[in-house]
Amino acid sequence: MSLSLVGLLNTVSPKSSASTRVAAGLRYGPADKHRLDLYGPRTPGPHPAIVFFYGGAWTDVGDRRDFAFAARALAALGYVVAVPDYRVLPEVAYPTFLDDCALAVHWALEHLGSQGGDPSRLALAGHSAGAYNAVMLALDPRYELHGRLTAVAGLSGPYDFYPFNEPIGARTFGHVPDALSTQPVNHVTPSAPPMFLAHGDRDTLVGKINAESLSSRLRAAGATVEVQNYPRLGHAGPVMELGSIIRGRSTLFGDLGGFLARHL
């Protein structure tokens, strides 16, 4: 999804009266990009919380402010939502963008309690590369989040794409000596948090085999997973369904809301 398209969607999506921007530009780390925005319900907390990672092929095309529509949609359901920026290529390489995302999650665990959130009920969510980030943080023990996350929601995410036969994967992960360690499917354990994996059948950028492969590994390990395929949606469709002006091409918003309510 192009930056202009998501920015336009963000501009034209009506702002729910049930949500508000709690804070803007909060610093979660030392780098210039280490800032996040917070959204939440207008009702008193503490509310369960979500950290949402936007995508963009791990390149500098995303901005946290362009995803206010997604954060407000989730906030209107009763969640405190953090949307962080994080460093990407070419400024940094793998795994630094994951390290940044992990830093944002640890900040959330430490500080959301003073912002109306409940860190003991924390989910990660993301779209595309952001879904990869969310799932990797939840599964890879390097990020010290095992047992600290209540749920994960991945929209249009790549989770099993080795060998790197296409340009994005080769550019982003081709330099890693242990290439298999970059794949979320290779970090699945029985302690994985419940996951919701959504994919559009018209997605020509990330194949639905990614969600199918990850869900198979999770089920084999005894973890909880829900997989939903949406016939009318392409790669950008699942995150765009959070924008209320075009919501309704699928049941994704209700499916995601139901999953979060069951687990948060």
Res 182: pLDDT: 98
Amino acid 203: pLDDT: 97
Contact by Cβ (8 Å): 35, 28: yes
Q: Which residue in the block uniquely carries the two structure tokens 């009920």?
A: 121
* β-pair partners for 123: 50, 151
Q: Token pair of 6, please?
A: 């998501």
Q: Are 63 and 3 in contact (CB under 8 A)?
A: yes
Looking up tokens 């499916």 gives: 255
Q: Is the pLDDT reported for residue 27 higher than 80?
A: yes
Kindly report the average pLDDT of the chain as a whole number: 94
* Mean pLDDT for the stretch of residues 181-190: 98
Q: So what's the pLDDT on residue 248?
A: 78
CA angle at residue 198 from 187 to 145, to 5 degrees?
35
Q: How many CB atoms lie within 10 A of CB 261?
A: 12
Strand pairing category for 195-200 and 151-155: parallel
Q: Give first-to-last CA distance, the chain, whole Å.
A: 29
Q: Give tens-digit pLDDT for 93-122.
A: 999 999 999 999 999 999 999 999 999 999
pTM of this structure: 0.95
pLDDT band at residue 3 using 50, 70 and 90 as cut-offs:
very low
Q: What angle do CA 133, 49, 132 make, to 5 degrees?
A: 10
Q: How confident is the model at residue 205 (pLDDT cuts 50, 70, 90)?
A: very high
| pLDDT of residue 262 exceeding 70 | yes
pLDDT in tens, 138-179: 999 999 999 999 999 999 999 999 999 999 999 999 999 999
* pLDDT confidence band for 11 (50 / 70 / 90): low
Residue 229 pairs with which residues in a beta bridge? 199
- Residue 230 lies in domain: 3-263
Mean local confidence (pLDDT), 117-132: 98
In which order are the strands placed within the sheet that holds 47-53? 19-27, 35-41, 80-84, 47-53, 117-127, 151-155, 195-200, 225-230
Determine what percent of the chain is predicted with pLDDT higher than 90.
89
What confidence tier does 2 reach under pLDDT thresholds 50, 70, 90? very low
More confident residue, 46 or 11: 46
Q: Specify burial of residue 216 (Cβ count, 10 A radius: 0-12, 13-18, 19+).
A: middle
- Residue 115: both structure tokens together: 């912002």
Is residue 245 pLDDT above 80, yes or no? no
Q: Tokens in use for 175?
A: 């330099």
* Contact in structure between 86 and 62 (CB atoms under 8 Å): no
Predicted confidence band at 244 (pLDDT cuts at 50, 70, 90)?
A: confident
In this structure, what CATH number is given to the domain that contains residue 33? 3.40.50.1820
15-24 mean pLDDT:
89
Structural domains counted in the chain:
1
